[in-house]
């Protein structure tokens, strides 16, 4: 009976992640429609192909080294804490492929029990993290439309999608990550790990790239360049909202028993944990996802005076800003955070545009960068004192740990991207 239940759990988990991968692909359909809708007609084809071709490039590079980075660098601080062996994530390992007849545990470098588990789950785990990687790269694509060479963007896409974001995920989005253990860092649904680092990279790219032709008047006053097709933008953003359901589900680990989680949780079998193996439920995140989305859309409608582009973009910003703590927030907290933070980000977007002449075509730095950064900082205050992990000896969630983590994420996206873009320029 126990063996049958374990097999059923494995099959369910495999199918669960497989479905999240399919759902997350809608994010990239949405990004393509969104970017094409924002760009002017003469740039449609290039905008589409620039974004779409990042998918195969990040996929191949993530297979060869990105997945291994996640398991290889959880110790710290930084990379000074030593490298962790992760044989099942090496591209030549039998567990990184299809072996319908099973695998010989002696060839995998892991125990027979782990080999049996990773044989069934390695591909779907890898696929879910790959879609996070492609999302991170695609965020940058929209901000730089109509200016950058496709080849230059693809180099940055590989850098951010297969190296930088997965390195910071190893540090702060891993059950044993040093940021979680030492700082009490908490970022359940990747406000910082995906969005802040992508926003930092987008800002660096934009500083080097400069504005679009015609964006600023001779006296430096910015001109408004509205989306070419508001319908494409709207449908694209709603597809991104839909794909984010898969994004959220993929950040959870389903069907976890108390004994699995370091023996720290007793008396109940949880249906899911967050990425840190702390208990949560799909019911809880459903409340908070919809409330943060609604708070963002209402705030966006008010501050933008009904502009459809910013109304829907602020809905996305609302989700992002509450994502760091949406496993633990009350729905009203999620709604308020989802309304207040996007309002600040909207104001910051236009302040930076006027003051520093930064031409962010889709507001990616504001929506993802500022929204993700502030979301992580807010979570540090709102969840102050909550355990960051079920493991004993880990620091509790605190404002300083989350602020330091948010700064690290943004800087990790900004500095390497700025250097690479300067070289490419």
Rounded to an integer, what distance in angstroms lies between the CA atom of residue 261 and that of residue 204? 40
- Residue 115 in tokens: 């080999």
Nearest to 180 by CA among 12, 405, 341, 352: 405
pTM beyond 0.75 = yes
- Residue 244 in tokens: 């984010």
Give residue 413's pLDDT. Answer: 98
Q: Distance of CA 112 to CAs 108, 119, 320, 391, Å? A: 9, 10, 40, 25
Q: Say how many residues make up the chain.
A: 425
Give residue 6's pLDDT. Answer: 63
Rounded to an integer, what distance in angstroms lies between the CA atom of residue 133 and that of residue 156? 12
Give residue 380's pLDDT. Answer: 98
Give residue 253's pLDDT. Answer: 87
- Greatest Cα pair distance, the chain, in angstroms, is 76
Give residue 271's pLDDT. Answer: 65
* Strands across the sheet containing 253-256: 253-256, 270-273, 279-280
Helices (H), 173-219: 178, 197-209
Rounded to an integer, what distance in angstroms lies between the CA atom of residue 202 and that of residue 143? 7
With the C-alpha atoms ordered 261, 265, 266, 271, is the resulting torsion angle positive or negative?
Answer: negative
| Tens digit of each residue's pLDDT, the chain (425 residues) | 555 556 667 778 889 999 999 999 999 999 999 999 999 889 999 999 999 999 999 999 999 999 999 998 888 776 666 678 788 888 988 888 866 555 665 555 666 556 666 777 889 999 999 999 999 999 999 999 999 999 999 999 999 999 999 999 999 999 999 999 999 999 999 999 999 999 999 999 999 999 999 999 999 999 999 999 999 999 999 999 999 999 999 999 886 554 555 555 554 555 688 999 888 888 999 999 999 999 999 999 999 999 999 999 999 999 999 999 999 999 999 999 999 999 999 999 999 999 999 999 999 999 999 999 999 999 999 999 999 998 889 999 999 999 999 999 999 999 999 999 999 99
For Cα atoms 137, 173, 71, give the angle at the middle one, nearest 5 degrees: 85
Query: 136, 369 in Cβ contact below 8 A?
Result: no
Helices (H), 223-330: 230-250, 282-303, 308-323
Q: Count of CB atoms within 10 A of residue 229's CB? A: 16
Report all structural domains of the chain as residue ranges with CATH numbers, in order of start. Answer: 2-424 (1.10.3430.10)
Rounded to an integer, what distance in angstroms lies between the CA atom of residue 350 and that of residue 344? 10
Rounded to an integer, what distance in angstroms lies between the CA atom of residue 123 and that of residue 128? 9
Rounded to an integer, what distance in angstroms lies between the CA atom of residue 373 and that of residue 404? 10
- H-run or E-run covering 124: helix 112-143
Give residue 76's pLDDT. Answer: 76
Give residue 280's pLDDT. Answer: 87
Give residue 269's pLDDT. Answer: 54
Give residue 110's pLDDT. Answer: 62
Give residue 103's pLDDT. Answer: 60
Rounded to an integer, what distance in angstroms lies between the CA atom of residue 372 and that of residue 162? 20
- Residue 398 in tokens: 């605190």
Give residue 12's pLDDT. Answer: 82
- H-run or E-run covering 383: none
DSSP 3-state of 154? helix
């Amino acid at each position: 009976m126990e063996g049958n239940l374990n097999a059923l759990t494995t099959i369910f988990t495999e199918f669960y992640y497989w479905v999240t991968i399919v759902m997350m692909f809608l994010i990239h359909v949405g990004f393509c429609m969104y970017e094409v809708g924002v760009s002017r007609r003469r740039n449609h084809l290039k905008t589409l192909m620039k974004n779409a071709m990042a998918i195969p490039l990040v996929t191949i590079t993530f297979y060869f080294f990105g997945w291994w980075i996640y398991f290889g660098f959880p110790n710290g601080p930084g990379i000074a804490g030593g490298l962790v062996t992760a044989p099942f994530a090496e591209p030549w390992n039998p567990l990184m492929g299809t072996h319908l007849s099973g695998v010989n545990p002696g060839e995998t470098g892991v125990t027979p029990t782990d080999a049996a588990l990773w044989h069934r789950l390695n591909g779907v785990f890898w696929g879910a993290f790959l879609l996070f990687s492609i999302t991170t790269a695609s965020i940058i694509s929209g901000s730089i439309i109509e200016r950058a060479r496709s080849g230059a963007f693809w180099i940055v896409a590989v850098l951010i999608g297969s190296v930088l974001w997965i390195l910071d995920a190893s540090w702060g989005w891993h059950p044993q990550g040093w940021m979680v253990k030492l700082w009490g860092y908490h970022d359940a649904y990747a406000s910082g790990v995906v969005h802040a680092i992508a926003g930092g990279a987008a800002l660096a790219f934009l500083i080097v790239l400069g504005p679009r032709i015609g964006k600023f008047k001779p006296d430096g006053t910015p001109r408004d360049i509205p989306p070419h097709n508001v319908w494409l933008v709207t449908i694209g953003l709603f597809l991104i909202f839909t794909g984010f359901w898969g994004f959220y589900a993929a950040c959870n680990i389903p069907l976890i028993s108390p004994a699995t989680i370091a023996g720290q949780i007793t008396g109940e079998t949880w249906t899911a944990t967050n990425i840190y193996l702390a208990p949560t439920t799909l019911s809880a995140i459903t409340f908070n996802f919809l409330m943060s989305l609604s708070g963002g859309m209402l705030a966006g409608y008010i501050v933008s005076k009904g502009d459809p582009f910013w109304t829907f973009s602020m809905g996305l910003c609302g989700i992002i800003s509450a994502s760091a703590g949406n496993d633990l927030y009350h729905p009203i907290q999620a709604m308020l955070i989802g309304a207040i933070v996007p309002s600040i980000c909207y104001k910051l977007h236009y302040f930076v545009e006027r003051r520093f002449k930064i031409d962010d075509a889709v507001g990616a730095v504001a929506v993802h960068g500022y929204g993700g950064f502030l979301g992580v900082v807010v979570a540090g205050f709102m969840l102050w004192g909550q355990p960051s992990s079920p493991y004993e000896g880990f620091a509790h969630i605190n404002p300083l740990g989350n602020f330091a983590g948010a700064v690290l994420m943004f800087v990790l996206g900004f500095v390497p991207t700025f250097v690479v873009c300067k070289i490419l320029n």
